[in-house]
Amino acid sequence: MYYALALVGIEPEAAEARLRDAERLLETALRVNKRSEAPSAEIIVKDDEGFRSLPGTIAIVRAYRAGALGDVPGIVRYARRA
């Protein structure tokens, strides 16, 4: 995730792609968890604490990206989410 933060100023499109990837994986993991299925080959979580903090981390990176783009409403939206 911090890779996306590093890309914000250098390659904003690549940063956005990494953020979307992380959000997709998070959504998949939450869907699997809600169905109470056994862990699948789709996602393997090795760091439970890091995984639990992923939504906040994504929001922080999105707020940083919004700032880099001059998007003040985006900064506020994602900072609140974080």
For 15-71, how does the pLDDT look when each residue is reduced to its tens digit (9 = 90+)? 888 889 889 988 888 787 666 555 555 667 788 888 888 899 899 989 988 888 899
pLDDT of residue 78: 96
**56: nearest Cα among 46, 68, 64:** 64
Residue 70, Ramachandran bin (φ over 0: left; ψ between -120 and 50: alpha; else beta) = left
pTM, two decimals, is: 0.75
pLDDT of residue 69: 87
pLDDT of residue 81: 94
pLDDT of residue 36: 54
CA distances for 22 relative to 17, 47, 60, 70, 73, angstroms: 9, 15, 13, 23, 22
CA quadruple 34, 35, 38, 42: dihedral, nearest 10: -80
pLDDT of residue 22: 85
